[in-house]
Amino acid sequence: MPDGVTVHALGLDFGTTNSVVALADGDGSRLVEFKGEAASSAVFRSALCFWQDEAVRGGLAHEAGPWAIAEYLDFPEGSRFIQSFKSVAASALFEHASVFDKRFRFEELGALFLERLVAHAGGRLDARPERIIVGRPVRYAGARPDEALARQRYDAMFRAFGTRIHYVYEPLGAAFSYASRLTRPATILVADFGGGTSDFSVVRIAAPGANRRCEPLGSAGIGIAGDTFDYRIVDHLVLPMLGKGGTYRSFDKLLEIPRNYFADFADWSRLALMRNRRTLGELDRLRRSASDPAAIGRMIMLIEQELGYRLYDAVGALKRTLSQAEHASFRFEAEDLLIEADIKRADFERWIAADIARIDATVDQALAAAGVTEADIDQVFLTGGSSLIPAIRRLFDARFGAGRIASGGELTSIAHGLALIGQEDDPAAWEA
């Protein structure tokens, strides 16, 4: 914002894959740009990289966002790269991440991430407004998400970031952003497809100038989103070459290789934590008794050489290409591992069909919670990176008609709207 302009509120979309910050004054909401050798946009990757450095207090240096990726790519084997850590916020099973010889709780990872995000904002976040609106999913990721635990961890993570934090459902932030475009009353369904969760909110929007522009009617969410779709690709293309479905010998019995290793490997929040002495020791013992020891050896190599980011970057590129084209080539190569395949969009859509069905059912839940039907929805606003997947778009076209579908600002609309909520007379009225 220009010098001398008073900032009234800050909106932060802390996402599983990306984070975005917006600042609001009396004239609207503007995104914070992150600029430097590693970045030149408002999108800040939700990632951390650690490496040992005796010159740093405690001997462990760290970076976040695009700078974390740059550090990792410069020296992958000497780094620890952590991404998608938001997905364990509500998991009681996650206690800490082991990074070299140190352990970090979720809130400590989050605080380090925020510290570097502020540092890379070029001074625009050094003095923060009293009103800070942070987005949160309608339903946290994980099989049994503990909302109270997630709130406790968020509170600790943001303790040094602001004096009063308001937590608002992420799709409601997107609704406020979309409402700023509308010139007439409407009932809208906001569908936010993030990295860890897909969230839906039904909101009634009043005409411009109304005392209360947006009224939330009902919400629903599910822990299926971009990371889940990545997992489906990894499960079909990569894990069979790492031993999934194979066997190992235990005394005189031939047993299936435990599936937990493959579940961890296919989950970004857990893959980065597999590089520890205990896990690698277990895998090495498993390799020696496996029917296909080379397959387990490839998994060990990928973990030891910190190749997870490269692998998932290739998977993400495939997914994005399949959103634009009917087929795409996938290639990943590392030492004795080479994966090449020509993937049709129809293949990918078959892999995620059950996930799409569960998302469809969650839309039903949001409509029921709001007490409305499909016919009552005037507009559907799709946001988030996975909203660009054709199968997602077809789902909403089929249910609501293409003429009622709108999109835009897929990565930035939530932060923009959260900052606008911060300008309301009572932001607490929007808290979740």
Q: Which of 23, 1, 128 minimizes the C-alpha distance to 415?
A: 23
pLDDT digits (tens, 9 = 90+) for 214-249: 899 999 999 999 999 999 999 999 999 899 999 999
Strands 379-383 and 186-193, sheet pairing:
parallel
| Backbone phi and psi for residue 99, each to the nearest 5 degrees, phi listed first | -120, 110
For the chain, how are helix, strand and coil distributed in percent, rounded to 5?
Answer: 40, 25, 30
Terminus-to-terminus CA distance in the chain, angstroms? 29
| pLDDT value at 4 more than 60 | no
pLDDT at site 263: 85
Do residues 365 and 220 lie in contact, with contact meaning Cβ atoms separated by under 8 Å? Answer: yes
| pLDDT value at 6 more than 90 | no
Q: Which of 381, 36, 404, 402 minimizes the C-alpha distance to 177?
A: 381
Instruction: Compute the mean pLDDT over every residue in the chain, rounded to the nearest whole number.
Output: 91
pLDDT at site 1: 46
pLDDT at site 124: 92
Which two structure tokens, joined as six digits, stand for 52? 């040992």
- Fold classification of 9-184+409-430 is Nucleotidyltransferase; domain 5 (3.30.420)
pLDDT at site 5: 53
Strands 214-222 and 198-205, sheet pairing:
antiparallel
pLDDT digits (tens, 9 = 90+) for 161-190: 987 899 999 999 999 999 888 889 999 999
SS3 29: strand
pLDDT at site 306: 82
Host H or E run for residue 18: strand 18-25
Do residues 199 and 139 lie in contact, with contact meaning Cβ atoms separated by under 8 Å? Answer: yes
| d(C-alpha 105, C-alpha 28), whole Å | 36
Residue with tokens 């932001």: 427
Largest CA distance in the chain: 77
| d(C-alpha 225, C-alpha 104), whole Å | 26
pLDDT digits (tens, 9 = 90+) for 275-289: 888 899 999 999 999
Residue with tokens 């998302």: 359
| d(C-alpha 350, C-alpha 344), whole Å | 10
| pLDDT value at 264 more than 90 | no
Burial of 365 (0-12, 13-18, 19+ CB in 10 A): middle
pTM over 0.85: yes
Average pLDDT over residues 248-272: 85
| d(C-alpha 1, C-alpha 9), whole Å | 12
pLDDT at site 211: 75
Q: Give domain limits for the chain.
A: 9-184+409-430, 227-351
As beta bridge partners, residue 186 has 205
pLDDT digits (tens, 9 = 90+) for 410-420: 889 999 999 99
SS3 328: strand
Residue 112 CA: distances (Å) to CA of 5, 116, 123, 135, 244? 29, 6, 17, 18, 35
